[in-house]
Amino acid sequence: MFSDKNEFKQGFLQKLERMYGKTFPESTVQDQYFTLGQMIREYISTNWIQTNEQYRFSDSKQVYYLSIEFLLGRLLRQNLMNLGIYDVVQEGLNDLGIDFPEIEEVEHDAGLGNGGLGRLAACFLDSLASLNLPGHGYGIRYKHGLFEQKIVNGFQMELPEQWLRHGHVWEVKKPDLAVEIPFWGKVESYMEEGKMKFRHIHAEVVSAVPYDMPIVGYKTSTVNTLRMWSAEPAAYKAGRDLMKYKRETEAITEFLYPDDTHDEGKILRLKQQYFLVSASLRSIIGSYLYRFGDLHELHKHVAIHINDTHPVLAIPELMRILVDEYEFEWEQAWTVTKNTFAYTNHTTLSEALEKWPIRIFQPLLPRIYMIIDELNERFCKELWNEYPGDWKRIEEMAIISHGQVKMAHLAIVGSYSVNGVAKIHTEILKQREMNLFYQYYPTKFNSKTNGITHRRWLLNANPALTELITSAIGKEWVHTPSNLQQLTKFSDDAAFLEKLYEVKQKNKQRLADRIFKQNGIKVDPHSIFDIQVKRLHAYKRQLLNVLHILYLYNRCQEDPNYDFPPRTFIFGAKASPGYFYAKKIIKLLHTIADLVNNDPIVNGRIKLVFLENYRVSLAEEIIPAADISEQISTASKEASGTGNMKFMMNGAVTLGTLDGANIEILEQVGPENIFIFGLNAQEVMKYQQNGGYYSMEYFHHDTRIKKALTQLIDGTLPGADDHFETIYDSLLAENDQFFVLRDFDSYVRIHEAAGNAYKRRDDWNQMCLNNIAYSGYFSSDRTITEYAEDIWKIK
């Protein structure tokens, strides 16, 4: 392809001319980006074909990762880095007078996910390929990813995201591999050779067309595949309203649902779910039959992972295929099925557990419903034998009850492994949320603490830090991230700590420039960059953060000599379009920003910045610049969090609750390198069970709280047309479900401690160093190795 800079340049110029019929000086940045993308994809294709061939003829076990979301972000830099040709390409482009970062900006994020769940799937793909594991992703190719957020007048506006507008260079359409997916219609039974059989008739059929994306491993020849399905009309059938059919078909893969924490009672969502699993299973079974010819030992050669319950219909779909299409006996099919699937749970929020009303489910997927009904019957009989007479327990565990299909129950019953995503999360599942299932299937449950790919979140996002680390401990840590621990040798090396500080300052300066360009706000790069970026949700408590800022403002007004280290509070967060309360918080953030940013008494010591349209590529710019990482969810509510790990790996110090993976961050770095505050999970759950919390008491007894809350509704805040009664009421009339006021005092005090620590620069730098040094555990390479060994049994 090309082996040095000059060959690259020559190839690039030739390709550009061929693709666009222009000379180089006439070309636009966009032409240049697409030319480069095409070149790199061709560069990848040899290894891609080879990896596929290898899998096709191998009898080693394969894993298929099914996820309704893949939050990939940009791929250009990642692909170049993983291929090991970043430097050659960058220098070649430089010679031509092209600025790499400028070209990079042309690429739209592939934003096919909401947040943590989808980003986890993307990190897992990177680790699978980099560890040379046979792992394939299956997802949906949404025409529009998560909405683009614009802030107008402090309010969130949503625009349709357009990542495909100019085409996506990394994907390859495979129309010859399209499969047909049936919806609606009815099920007919008939007799064949003395056996009752079923067929789905009068169905409306849509075509699922695959688009494949190469997933390049880091400096290996492995190139795995992410296959994403797009819905297109199937062959024309007479008598059908063609336009309506086309519209309804294309709607299936038009939009990503902008919320993964609420059960969406929409037919379209259910259609998406079945569309994904039915198409993926056909593809999986197709390649399996090519390898083995018979499905009876499928579970010995294939593991299918379902990321949360969204793809759980893969379980009844596999039953359907085995029983209806391959003549399996029910029990035979069930043995294969329940030994093929593994399931990851992502939440303990009960409102987020998916349930579908039968009246919606049954007409859309009639045969699948019949199969779930049969599974439920048999499961309830099994329970009756184990717990004779215990109606209540059986009702609580049933897959179908009270007119609803319980997707999590189906997932647990139909898979051989159920895992939580952090230690505390798994414990809460076992002891509370899924306790009855844990009693019945104690060995199915296991914990796999999430991780992030250090290649994207450290090597690619923070080259200056990467270089500094490598200069200190060599480059083996890139393959073995636990080697980052060797950095502790430098924890008393003043010169090294100073270099670490300089790297951070450089990243902070770059973010300060972006903030000025984008928001017109001047921030001081020597102030503490205190950052909370994540989806906006009540349980993540952005509200606690902003009330603290309002308190600091009040404190300045009362005592203009109040001495504290200057702080820049930075937020990024999308609110689900229908989540009214979350949108109010965004408005409140902007209102408080107007209040503090230009106040003469505050005099620049507090700045509040909201960066719009938080997404992967923005995260990559923000996180390396953080001093403090805000991870302040109400304890017990955040299953794991992965943002916390990205910050830690970039040398930010966590200020957080004992929730999710924060607990394991604490275990890794030790209490002297983290700021922990607030109620723990046990205390929260105790209040929830026994009562005893009265937010009004905190309002009356804490003047800081009283003052700040009163300001929300008394017209003090600028832009008086918008008051914040809803927020005020949630904290008082509704007794503060997320314990914001309960944790307020503790939060103020931990911020004081963090501020004081920041003043002692050497100590602070040492804390940063320790955070980086102990972050290796949170590489998704560790997580994927655990999945591969304990759950999937793949090599």
Ligand X SMILES: *Cc1c(COP(=O)(O)O)cnc(C)c1O
Residues that bind ligand X (CB under 6 A): 115-116, 119, 534-535, 614-616, 619, 641-643, 646
Q: Judge whether 607 counts as a catalytic residue.
A: no
| Smaller CB separation from ligand X, 92 or 643 | 643
Among 457, 783, 500, smallest CA distance to 643 is for 457
Q: Which of 504, 535, 548, 590 is catalytic?
A: 535
Q: In the bound complex, what is the minimum distance in angstroms from residue 572's beta carbon to ligand X? A: 8
Q: Which lies closer to ligand X via its Cβ, residue 222 or residue 650? A: 650
Query: Shortest distance, CB of residue 116 to ligand X, whole angstroms?
Result: 4
| Helix axis angle, 761-773 to 494-519, nearest 10° | 90
Judged by beta carbon, residue 280 or residue 453, the one nearer ligand X is 453
To the nearest whole angstrom, how small is the minimum distance from the Cβ of residue 571 to ligand X?
12
454, 481 contact by CB (below 8 A): yes
291 flagged as catalytic: no
Which position among 540, 574, 742, 751 bears the catalytic label? 540
Contacts from 375-379 at CB under 8 Å and sequence distance 24+? 375/316, 375/319, 375/334, 375/399, 375/410, 375/413, 375/414, 376/400, 379/413
Any residues with CB less than 8 A from the CB of 790 and at least 6 apart, and which?
417, 446, 448
* Nearest approach, Cβ of residue 246 and ligand X (Å): 33
Q: How far is the CB of 644 from ligand X (least distance, A)?
A: 6
> One-letter amino acid identity for 342?
A
Write a three-state SS string for 576-607: CCCCHHHHHHHHHHHHHHHHHHCCCCCCCCEE
Catalytic residue, from 346, 409, 584, 587: name it.
Answer: 346
Nearest alpha carbon to residue 531 among 513, 508, 556, 547:
508
Instruction: Determine whether 346 is an active site residue.
Output: yes
Catalytic status, residue 540: yes
Nearest distance from residue 628's CB to ligand X, in Å? 14
Alpha carbon of 227 to those of 136, 396, 586: distances in Å? 8, 37, 36
252 or 616: whose CB is closer to ligand X?
A: 616
d(CA 373, CA 349): 26
Nearer to ligand X, 440 or 738 (CB): 738
Partners of 452 in the beta sheet? Answer: 779
Q: Both tokens of residue 332?
A: 């035979």
Q: Which is nearer to ligand X, 119 or 548 (CB)?
A: 119
Query: What's the token pair of residue 648?
Result: 């830690």
CB of 99 to ligand X, least distance (A): 25
Shortest-Cβ-distance residue relative to ligand X: 643
**Paired residues of 610 in beta bridges:** 571
On whether the CB atoms of residues 564 and 605 are closer than 8 A, the answer is yes
Q: What does the block give as tokens for 36? A: 């480069």
- Tell me the two tokens of residue 21: 């019929």
- Catalytically annotated residue among 406, 409, 454, 534: 534
Decide if 534 is catalytic: yes
HSE (side-chain half, CA atoms, 13 Å) at 574: 25
Tell me the angle at which helices 76-83 and 29-57 cross, rounded to the nearest 10 degrees. 50
Our CB check for ligand X shows the closer of 452 and 767 to be 452
Residues with a catalytic annotation lie at 346, 534-535, 540, 642, 646
